[in-house]
Structure 1
């Protein structure tokens, strides 16, 4: 399924006010993990109140022990500090990478902004080396903008 085909499905999930925000986030994770073949773990991390750390939110994929990530640590922690997208084509080449699974080859993390403030991010792991393109970044930025409307 193409990103253009997935966009209206994301919009439908986001606009379903009968569901809680967490349920809608989980549905987005399921949608992406199911329909993008190289998205093997899809989840959200959010700033933990005023603490300089991220807490794991809804996700789909293998269980992770990384439920709390300090700012600056790993790819997610770096995005919390930089406020910029981070695409990692080869996680083994990253010094500050937190390994979740030996099968993960690549990662992409896109921040979520609400009123100009970085409040969280979408994190995607892939078991395929170097799968992410600019199209993935643009699509995930779209998702983060939509998600920001329900947070």
Structure 2
């Protein structure tokens, strides 16, 4: 399924206020993991209150021990500080990478902004080397803008 054909489905999920925010986020994770072959782990991390750390939110994929990530640690922790997209074509080439699974080859993390503040991110792991393109970045940015609308 193409990114463009998934956008209306993302909007439908986001607008479904019969579901909790976490239920909607989980549905987004499930949609992405089921429809994009190289999205093998899809999840959200959010700033943990006033602490300088991220807390794992809804996700699909292999279970992870990384439920709390300090700012600056790993790819997600770096995005929490830089406020910029981070595309990692080869996780083994990164010094500051937190391994979640030996099968993961690449990662992409896109921040979520609410009122100009980085409040979280979407994190995608892939078991395929170097799969992410600019189209992935633009699509995930679209998702983050949509998700920001339901985060209070």
Q: What TM-score do the two structures reach when normalised by structure 1?
A: 1.00
**Partner of 2:86 in structure 1?**
86
Report the secondary structure of 1:19's partner residue.
coil
**Partner of 1:5 in structure 2?**
5
**Partner of 1:16 in structure 2?**
16
Residues 88-134 of structure 1, C-alpha deviation per residue, up to 9 Å, x if partnerless? Answer: 00000000000000000000000000000000000000000000000
**Partner of 1:31 in structure 2?**
31
**Partner of 1:45 in structure 2?**
45
Answering whether residue 147 of structure 2 is matched by residue 147 of structure 1, we say: yes
Runs ≥4 residues deviating over 3 A: none
Q: CA RMSD in A?
A: 0.2
**Partner of 1:101 in structure 2?**
101
Structure 1: any 5+ residue segments left out of the alignment?
none
Give the number of aligned pairs: 151
Q: What TM-score do the two structures reach when normalised by structure 2?
A: 0.99
Structure 2: any 5+ residue segments left out of the alignment?
none
